[in-house]
Chain A
Amino acid sequence: MGGEATELTRLTAAEIGAAVAAGEVSAVEVTRAHLDRIVAVEPELHAFLHVAGIGALAAAEEVDRRRVAGERLGPLAGVPLALKDVLTTADMPTTCGSKILAGWQPPYDATVTRRLRDAGVIILGKTNMDEFAMGSSTENSAFGPSRNPWDRSRVPGGSSGGSSAAVAGYEAPLGIGTDTGGSIRQPAAVCGIVGMKPTYGGSSRYGLVAFASSLDTPGPLARTVLDAALLHEAISGHDPRDATSVDAPVPPVVAAARQADVAGLRVGVVSELSGDGYQAGVQSRFAEAVELLESLGAKVTEVSCPHFGYALPVYYLIAPSEASSNLARFDAMRYGLRVGDDGSRSADEVMSLTRAAGFGPEVKRRIMLGTYALSSGYYDAYYGKAQQVRTLIGRDFDAAFDQVDVLVSPTTPTTAFLIGERVDDPIAMYLADLCTIPSDLAGNAAISVPCGLAPEDGLPVGLQVMAPALADDRTYRVAAAVEAALQQRWGGPLLAQSPPLDDAPPKGPAR
Chain B
Amino acid sequence: MAITRDEVAHLARLSRLALTDAELDHFAGQLDQILAAVARVQEVVADQIPPTTHAAGIVNVYRDDVAAPQLTPEQALACAPAAEQARFRVPRILAED
**Do the beta carbons of A348 and B41 come within 8 Å of each other?**
no
Residues of A within 8 A of B75 (CB): 107
Chain A: minimal CB distance from B75 (Å) = 5
Chain A: minimal CB distance from B54 (Å) = 7
Binds B, one of A64-72, A170-178, A364-372, A487-495: A364-372
Majority secondary structure of chain B interface residues (helix, strand, loop or mixed): mixed
Binds B, one of A8-16, A76-84, A287-295, A329-337: A329-337
Chain B: minimal CB distance from A180 (Å) = 14
- Is A243 positioned at the interface, with any CB of B under 8 Å from its CB? yes
- Is A394 positioned at the interface, with any CB of B under 8 Å from its CB? yes
With A and B bound together, what is the CA distance between A27 and B68 in angstroms? 35
Contact with A along B56-71 (1 / 0, CB 8 A): 1010010100000001
Q: Which of A312, A333, A392 contacts B90 (CB 8 A)?
A: A333
Task: Give the residue among A313, A317, A368, A381 with the most B Cβ atoms within 10 A.
Answer: A368
Interface residues of B in 1-57 (CB under 8 A from A): 3, 7-8, 11-19, 23, 27, 30-31, 33-35, 37-44, 46, 49-52, 54-56
**Do the beta carbons of B31 and A369 come within 8 Å of each other?**
yes
Residues of B within 8 A of A392 (CB): 44, 46, 49
Chain B: minimal CB distance from A95 (Å) = 12
Residues of A within 8 A of B19 (CB): 356, 364
Given known pairs A365-B34, A368-B11, the reply for A385 and B44 (CB within 8 Å) is: yes
**Do the beta carbons of B79 and A335 come within 8 Å of each other?**
yes
Given known pairs A371-B11, A426-B30, the reply for A214 and B78 (CB within 8 Å) is: no
With A and B bound together, what is the CA distance between A392 and B19 in angstroms? 37
**Do the beta carbons of A313 and B27 come within 8 Å of each other?**
no
Task: Give the residue among A343, A346, A381 with the most B Cβ atoms within 10 A.
Answer: A346
14 A-B pairs within 8 Å (CB atoms) are namely: A244-B58, A310-B40, A316-B34, A335-B79, A347-B94, A356-B18, A364-B19, A365-B27, A365-B30, A369-B31, A372-B7, A382-B39, A389-B41, A391-B51
Q: A348-B94, A392-B44 are in contact. List 5 more A-B contacts (CB 8 A).
A: A107-B78, A333-B90, A365-B34, A389-B44, A391-B49
Question: Nearest 5 pairs between A and B by C-beta?
Answer: A443-B55, A387-B51, A338-B81, A352-B18, A388-B46
